[in-house]
Amino acid sequence: MPSVDSVKVAVRVRPFSQREKDAGSKCVISMNSNSTSIYDPRNPEHVKTFTFDLAFWSHSGFLKDKNGVLVPAGCNSYAGQREVFHDLGEGVLESAWQGYNATLLAYGQTGSGKSYSMIGYGANRGIVPAVCEELFKATQSGEENKQYQITFSMLEIYNEQVIDLLAKTRKPGGLKIREDQQQGFYVDGLKLVPCDSYAQIERLMEQGNKMRTTATTTMNATSSRSHMVITVQFKQIFLDEAITKQSIINLVDLAGSERQKSAGPEKDRLKEGTRVNLSLTTLGNVISALAEVATGKKVLHIPYRDSVLTKLLQSALGGNSRTIMIAAVSPADICYEETLSTLRYAERAKKIRNKAVVNSSPTEKLIQELKAENNKLLGRLAGLRSTGTLVDDETQELRCLVAGNEQRLRSAQDTWEARLEAARGEWQQQRAALAQERQMMETFPYLLNINEDPQLSWVLKYFIQDGSCDVGQSTSNAIILRGFGILDKHATFTNTDGEVTLTPGHKCKATVNGVPITGKTKLQHLDRVILGSSSAFLYIGPPAERTDEDLSRYDYDFFQSELAAAGGFSLDKLGAAGSKESRADPSILAVFHDYIKLLPLVAEVNQMSEELKKDLMFELKVKNLALSDSRGYDLQKEVVVRVTHVTTHQVWVWSQAKFMNRKVLMEELYQRLRAGEAAPAGRERDPFWEPPEAVHLGRAHVWLEALAHRAPLRQRAALRDHQGLRQARLLLALRPCGARGRLFGEDDMVMDPLELLGRRVDFQVHMVECRGVKWLREAAGRGIQIGYRVYDLPRCLYTKPVWKNVNPKIDETVQFSALKASYEFLNYLQKNALIIDLWGLQEGCVEMGCSFEGLPLTPEGAVLLDSPNALTAGDAGPDPSSPMSKLYQKLLRVEEETEQLREVNRALRDENLLLKDKLKWDTSHCEKTESESPTKAIEVTEETLSFREAEGRRSPRTSWDAEFAKALKIFYQNMSVVREQFLELKHLRPPVSQPSTLLQFISVATGAPFLTPRSFVLALGICKREVSITDRVSSHHFSPSMRLPLSMHFVQPWRHKDLETL
């Protein structure tokens, strides 16, 4: 009878990693009995609770005992390795004893603790060793009439290739999967090692791990993308009953489940890289399909055959196996998305129902059959004898048959003994080698490998014996090292009486403690050595130099941080260093860790590019996202990869995701080429190749707030790159205007933007010129285009391309129109900036389209910013008969009439003022000095002057309204400068921890109280009202500049000097 049970699921949450602690992470997981809850760090009320068979709290409440084992501190709910084995491992053992197949899968993102639970670290042994040890303990109890046969195998699936981790030589292309009627899928030629003690298994696991570690460096493979499958076959032969029970125990440490992110907004031309883990994707599909089957849905096909892993696990999933899944999760808030996805995956898995049966293997059947046949033959012989009908020939024949059968029976049993004996021999040899290694560790200095995967660190040791020893790819070296950037003869270590020096060969890359070395360098105990692009080693000095220091701090992260720091990149540089009390900004820490993670990968890609003569150089750049946010709030940064062609100077910028995707494909190509295969034809398939593209060079923010008051703005904006460096300067003007494009003057300005609510608002963006464009200066044959997006237009607008001119004149004007300014629109103008992008064009790249195609236009040709349905793209004009069109025409007429009325009003007011002035002049004869004049005070910036000139000077004295408008205009111009500087400050992140301190700092720097533009405008408004009242009650001359002290501060030239001293 099959036992029908669901897949048993357990969740385990690990302690914070050092990285998470540094980032000041918060724990988002809580557990209560067998339920696990996760809360969304951005929305803590949003909690999701999952109920699984078991929940292991391994996050906190533990201490290290004297052997280094993590145990519960007092009586609390901490689940250490022992508890996990007790709850899961013992179930596996029980199934095995009963003759059921058992499978244990560890699922979770890289670094979540899969290997910790399965294999374990040091004294904290995982389930696999514990299960094996317990199994042997029980089999050695010496039960009579029972024999046990245990075989062990260990394989890895990488890129759909099966690698035997116990084989001495590696089969190119990996082992084949075959299908057998009775056995199902199996790996053809996999080494199954018979074992009769746990010590043997321990050695085999060590051997397998060594093989895995060597493979990652030789093949430049990443262990997190590979699946490791350990299989223990356990047979119990009951001699009396002639029954054999057989159980196959599969222990699977799956590849990291982190979702392959899409290659960012630009998407990658080559998609295969992201599909690389076919096995993991298919496992997900199989689980989903089986979960549907369990809920009664009709599923036609379960895609077991789509990947190597699912073929091998077919019986574990919905078949003849008792299956357990352990979902390993990180507790940290930064892993929230991945953890949630792991829990959802586990939830699907728990629905799967398996039908396990007690197994008897074909070999045992054969033995049983042979025995049964022999019994029959012997019975017949006895029968013949007793009836006296014995014929010599017949007896002879029967005896032959019996003897033949017995021989076959013996050989079936002997094979096991013989195989076991051979395995014991190998094991003895390994034990001797291990003893020798231990002895050498006590005698010589050595290099200890450090891998990205902590499970594969400290696995390989290279001894530096007395004299000199060469290191490199060639087999003639004393230490043979494979890996990116390691040359045939790469370096020489010399050991003279315990003093060790390292001398790299000519043009051979080597770094010690992060610093590149070229000549002979003396090594000291615990120096960090990197050879080639990424082969990292911790140098263990001769015994006399050694200390008790804990070596675990020298992990892969340590090496990479050191390398980054030596290259001038550090947390402080990123502006994340918090004061002692305040922790560093987690988002910046995340960027730092991304950078550290990518650093060795970039080195590897550069190495591949060099070896394959691709002429490409890859560099990491930190991109400042404050530049992409139209409100300038975003302090986030991200890491991008800049690719430069060394000879053509072509440039590409790749997102992290695109780079990761390409790296996988590059590795594949590199390995194929090294294996002597021909390169795939056509550059389209080449992961190094990319068509020339327009490169984003820089960005500027031009604040639109002036337009909310219908004030014009002329600005020379700095276009800065991701690092805040100026790439060019752009002169542009924002000009409020009427529907037909007549530019508004100062008298048209409004004090309160709400006055524009519901009215038609038009303005022009005039791109004048771009100066000092670095991109154009750096290489010939380049061009630029300017792109910007206004409000919620569906796409960017681009100016016409200008090629090969360092100071390109652009001189393009586009008019925008909101027919009925909504609250949102006015809010947009007040709070947002126009983001202007500078794009670098290079030979052969596609220029950005500069037509208005696809954008709704008004009949006058302005780009329509609201009611996009009113006028659709490409329309020759609105249908004059439609009601919308009629309304629109009416609106236009009203607009025009208002315009005319305003004109009249303006003329009257001017006249009135002239008369007033004349009157004052005549009566007082009081001549004002130029220095007191408010006009003088506002003419301080170059931009203002030229703007004034552009508009033409009007009467020598203007209205209070006009003075107010001028003050406002200058205020906005200065505000733009302030904002730009503020943005710059955000890039630089001055060492102040509190935002309020930052504001104080800025207000000191500007010499003005730091006010929001809105409150400033209000203040101006109040003063203005007072002015007009005073004006009405007294006929005394009154200068608004005297009554508007705030404006005075802002009309002062911006004190750049103060900021430069930053």
Contacts to ligand ADP by CB under 6 A: 14-15, 17, 58, 70, 108, 110-116, 121, 328, 454-455
Residue 66 has phi, psi (to 5 degrees) of -65, -20
DSSP code for 78? B
The partner in contact with residue 457, picked from Mg ion, ligand ADP, none with C-beta cut-offs of 5 to 8 angstroms by kind, is none
d(CA 593, CA 602): 14
Beta carbon nearer to ligand ADP, 31 or 967: 31
Q: Which does 981 bind (CB under 5 to 8 A by kind): Mg ion, ligand ADP, none?
A: none
How far CA 87 is from CA of 90, 125, 258, 910, in Å, comes to: 6, 15, 27, 91
Cβ 1002 vs Cβ 982: under 8 Å: yes
CB 250 to ligand ADP: min, Å: 17
Residue 123 CB, shortest distance to ligand ADP, in Å, is 12
Confirm if 765 and 739 have CB atoms less than 8 A apart. Answer: no
Partner whose footprint covers residue 599, from ligand ADP, Mg ion, none (CB < 5 to 8 Å by kind) = none
Taking a C-beta distance cutoff of 8 angstroms, is the pair 764, 788 a contact? no
- Which is closer to ligand ADP, CB of 331 or CB of 1040? 331
Nearer CB in complex with Mg ion: 227/716: 227
Tokens 């203002």 identify what position? 944
Alpha helices in 6-142 (DSSP H): 18-22, 81-84, 90-98, 114-118, 127-139
**Rounded distance between C-alpha atoms, residue 996 and residue 999, angstroms:** 5
- Give the Å distances, CA to CA, from 114 to 126, 154, 325: 10, 17, 11
Question: Measured from the CB atom, is 126 or 783 closer to Mg ion?
Answer: 126
Spatial distance between the Cα atoms of 649 and 531, rounded to a whole number of angstroms: 29
Shortest Cβ 812–Mg ion spacing (Å):
57
Residue 15 interaction partner, one of Mg ion, ligand ADP, none, beta carbon < 5-8 Å per kind:
ligand ADP
Long-range contacts of 545-550 (CB under 8 A, 24+ apart): 545/445, 545/498
- Which of 713, 711, 706 has its CA nearest to residue 746? 711
- Residue 451 or residue 455: which is nearer to Mg ion going by CB? 455
Residue 115 beta carbon to Mg ion: minimum distance, rounded to whole angstroms: 3
108 binds, among Mg ion, ligand ADP, none (CB under 5 to 8 A by kind): ligand ADP
Interface residues with Mg ion (CB under 5 A) are: 115, 455
Nearer to ligand ADP, 342 or 1041 (CB): 342
Q: How far is the CB of 454 from ligand ADP (least distance, A)?
A: 4
Q: How far apart are CA 248 and CA 151, in angstroms?
A: 10
Residue 81 or 101 with smaller CB distance to ligand ADP: 81
Indicate the residue among 455 and 533 with the shorter CB distance to ligand ADP.
455
Of 332 and 818, nearer to ligand ADP (C-beta) is 332
Question: CB-wise, 518 or 552, nearer to Mg ion?
Answer: 552
Q: In 10 A of CB 297, how many CB atoms?
A: 9
Q: CA 246, CA 240: separation in Å to the nearest integer? A: 16
Residue 184 interacting partner from ligand ADP, Mg ion, none (CB closer than 5 to 8 Å by kind): none
How far is residue 307's CA from residue 278's CA, in Å, rounded to a whole number?
6
**How far apart, in whole angstroms, are the C-alpha atoms of residue 809 and residue 768?**
7
Residue 819's alpha-carbon distances to 738, 829, 857, 873, 887, in angstroms, are 11, 15, 11, 16, 11
Q: How far is the CB of 211 from ligand ADP (least distance, A)?
A: 17
Which of 115/656 has CB closer to Mg ion? 115
Pair 1051, 968: CB distance under 8 Å: no
Measured distance CA(66)–CA(74) in Å, rounded = 16
Separation CA 695–CA 139 (nearest Å): 68
Q: Which is nearer to Mg ion, 89 or 120 (CB)?
A: 120
- Hey, what amino acid is at 229? V
**CB-count exposure of residue 1010 (10 Å: 0-12, 13-18, 19+):** middle
C-alpha 815/C-alpha 830 separation (Å) is 19
Output 455 or 981, the one with its CB closest to Mg ion: 455
Rounded-to-integer distance, Cα 461 and Cα 449, Å: 7
| AA identity, residue 8 | K
> What are residue 167's phi and psi, to 5 degrees?
-80, 145
Residue 596 CB, shortest distance to ligand ADP, in Å, is: 16
Number of residues that make up the chain: 1062
Least Å distance between CB 59 and Mg ion? 18
When the beta carbons of 338 and 837 are compared against ligand ADP, the nearer one is 338
Query: 712 is in the binding site of which of Mg ion, ligand ADP, none (Cβ under 5 to 8 A by kind)?
Result: none
Q: What residue number has its CB nearest to ligand ADP? A: 113
Residues near 1001 by Cβ (< 8 Å), separated by ≥ 6?
990, 992
Nearest Cα residue to 343 out of 581, 103, 12:
12
Task: Give the long-range contacts of residues 681-688, CB within 8 A, separation 24 or more.
Answer: 685/270, 687/270, 687/273, 687/662, 688/609, 688/612, 688/614, 688/616, 688/662
Nearest distance in Å: CB 112, Mg ion:
9
Nearer to ligand ADP by Cβ, of 328 and 862: the residue is 328
Please list the residues that pair with 351 across neighbouring strands.
none
Alpha-carbon distance of 371 to 1060, in angstroms, equals 96
Residue 113 interaction partner, one of Mg ion, ligand ADP, none, beta carbon < 5-8 Å per kind: ligand ADP
**Nearer residue to ligand ADP within complex by CB, 328 or 776:** 328
Tell the smallest beta-carbon distance from residue 29 to ligand ADP (Å): 12
Cβ–Cβ < 8 Å for 163, 151: no
Q: Minimal CB distance to Mg ion: which residue?
A: 115
- Residue whose CB is less far from ligand ADP, 74 or 880: 74
Q: How far is the CB of 656 from ligand ADP (least distance, A)?
A: 20
What does 17 bind: Mg ion, ligand ADP, none (CB cut-off 5 to 8 Å by kind)?
ligand ADP
